[in-house]
Structure 1
Amino acid sequence: MSFDLVEIRDLKVAFDGTQVLHGINLSVDRGEALGLVGESGCGKSVTWLAALGLLPGKAAISGSVRIEGNELCSAPRQALERVRGGRIAMIFQDPSSSLNPVIRIGRQITEALTLHRGIGGETARAEALRLLDMVGIPDARRRFDLFPHEFSGGQCQRLMIAMALAGQPDLLIADEPTTALDATIQAQILDLLNQLRAETGMATVFISHDLGAVSQVCERVCVMYAGRIVEQGSITQLFSRPRHPYTRGLFDAIPRLDGPRTRLVPIPGTVPNPKQLTAGCAFSPRCAHSVASCDFQRPELDVMEDGRRLACFNPVLADEPTPALQTVMEDA
């Protein structure tokens, strides 16, 4: 029997009785690059923190998370710890808060090698230097014994990637890995992720609100809103003809750098408070396509004629892309 590398089914998360994830269903195949997009507060990071058992104890988690058919949600702690960093590694948003400021970089990487691969001493040092070279840290041998504050922001992100690769993971989860980096460094990190996936064959989940970055890394995209997936499909499907009004709104809000200056079309309002969700579609109060049924009935994520999955009663017509959307597609 063949399994997806990671399969998440009906994943729900609640904090203090308030549900923030409402039955997430998604899968990641071996070697695949999956993008997870949406505004802040839509549940992108929480989905994977829950999958890895990294949420605080007050979080109530239900559903199923399987890696090659083996359940993680009910797995004992020791089994879960072997998966974290070993089978699945995660790069967090802020490397400066993820790296230990009082431990030298070389030791942090060799500790990961010892924990996940059982190697130590000079063998671990040599492998750590190889990883630093792989992620593009210049003069790695000299900088092996430096502290995190002696590296730039972009280099700290590369260090986090090196630590994530130490366990030779099957899946790398990159949570906003280009946040707070300038455009040149962002491009370098994206190129590095593509290169590493090609060289190692690992799958990648790229969590971001930057649609341009997603277009450069991913093959398939899930759009999340208010703790649910509202549209899911290939990069070509979603980026050339988005059908959900929320997906289309994300593209309409992208500024175009070439051509005539035009006013941006922002999505009105904000992501709703999880405590104030109604029985209808969560996006309905912000949606220009809303119909009467949207206010009291929630659309299911159904398969469309082109194979994508969509949760909407009145989807956007498959018309020509907007100028901003065309710009993103040209950059992809």
Structure 2
Amino acid sequence: MTAATANLVELRNLKVAFDGVQVLHGIDLDVARGEALGLVGESGCGKSVTWLAALGLLPGKASVTGSVRLEGRELCGSPRSTLEQVRGGRIAMIFQDPSSSLNPVLSIGRQITEALAIHRGLRGEAAKTEALRLMDMVGIPDARRRFDLYTHEFSGGQCQRLMIAMALAGKPDLLIADEPTTALDATIQAQILDLLIRLQAETGMALVFISHDLGAVSQVCERVCVMYAGRIVEEGSVAQLFSSPRHPYTRGLFDAIPRIDGPRKRLIPIPGTVPNPKTLPQGCAFAPRCSRTTAFCETSPPSLLPQKDGRKLACAHPIELAVAGKAERKVPEDLLQ
């Protein structure tokens, strides 16, 4: 393995604009083979757009620039035929609402076997056998009897499992899970998380887990990137970010988490609102909401820079490690399990 292909996927200076309005401002991100990477942040920060852009799935009005490399092979600007080979075959994506992603007029078996035909050339009885194996793998009971059923005949949790089965049909090297547990109740959420953890261990695929749920991220991921207003503002291991967040925005996310242990305390919300992409501040996008803002922050956008402890940070006035470690409001222990 050469240094140029040490990572499975490399994003460099990835920018996206819609009708001239910039929504991604130069994303640099690596995904190593077999790792589980979490992507967190408020709605609209660019988590999903990053990977839709990487796969060429944004609408025609979107302008995408930068570099997206899969094992050193450039995808950004590649012809549609090249991207169609990558989607599903090398990189698969599952979405937060399976009911809008599954075809209601085709049986589940038909949809999975179509994916197998496209990505692995399997047809007939061989495709059906493999489809049943995938349904069993993701925990669909009595798969053979339910092979010819339709989407409306499955529960929400089972539909999400079927989406995962379809994503696995091409034996992808990377699975992108975009808010896969949002519409599910707590019990089913836990089952889907356990399923993703097990499948990653069994297949060796890399996983990008996009979520608002910091607890879920702590269970599934090894490394986390925090996004705000189209930029990555902090990146590090789960242990680093969950025990000692250094960016004020990351700390704000943890301060807003309710605790179920100990005495009741008022939550500490992040003041203000996410800025409109059309009217972003001149300097740091988080400056209007940050208690550590100075005049420098209001005029100079920070760069994402490596830190001594191995994480990356985009902040002129980060929280000192000693202070973060001794903060009165600690991260709930259940998130660190």
With normalisation by structure 2, the TM-score equals 0.97
1:256 aligns with 2:259: yes
C-alpha distance in structure 2 between counterparts of 1:255 and 1:180, whole Å: 20
Q: Give the match's secondary structure for 2:331.
A: helix
Query: How many residues are treated as equivalent by the alignment?
Result: 331
Name structure 1 gaps, 5 residues minimum: none
The aligned counterpart of 2:58 is 55
Structure 2 counterpart of 1:327: 333
CA distance in 1, matches of 2:328, 2:117: 51
Aligned to 2:129: 126
Runs ≥4 residues deviating over 6 A: none
Hey, what does 2:27 align to over in structure 1? 24
Query: In the TM superposition, what whole-angstrom CA distance separates every residue of 1:110-154 from its partner, at most 9, and x where no partner exists?
Result: 000000000100000000000000000011011111100111111
**Separation in structure 2 between the aligned mates of residue 5 and residue 238 of structure 1, nearest angstrom:** 23
Matches within 5 A, 1:1-332: 1-2=2-3, 3=5, 4-318=7-321, 319=324, 320=326, 323=329, 325-330=331-336, 332=337
Partner Cα separation in structure 1 for residue 267 and residue 162 of structure 2: 37
Distance, in Å, in 2 between the alignment partners of 1:239 and 1:62 is 32
Residue-by-residue CA offset, 1:212-231 (whole Å, 9 max, x unaligned): 00000000000000000000
Measured in 1, the distance between the counterparts of 2:329 and 2:300 equals: 33
How far residue 324 of structure 1 moved from its aligned partner, in angstroms, is 5.2
Q: Secondary structure at the match of 1:223?
A: strand
Quote the Cα distance in structure 2 between the aligned partners of 1:322 and 1:239: 14
User: Alpha-carbon deviation of 1:93?
Assistant: 1.4
C-alpha contact 1:211 1:328 (8 A) present in aligned 2: no
Q: Which amino acid aligns with 1:325?
A: V
Structure 2 unaligned regions, length at least 5: none
Residues 142-190 of structure 1: CA distance to partner in whole angstroms, max 9, x if unpaired?
A: 1111100111111010000000000000000000000011111111000
The secondary structure found in structure 1 opposite 2:175 is strand
| Kept in 2: contact 1:256–1:324 (CA 8 A) | no
Amino acid at match of 2:140: I
1:223-268 deviations in whole A, cap 9, x for unaligned? 0000000000111111110000000000000000111111100111
CA distance in 1, matches of 2:83, 2:157: 30
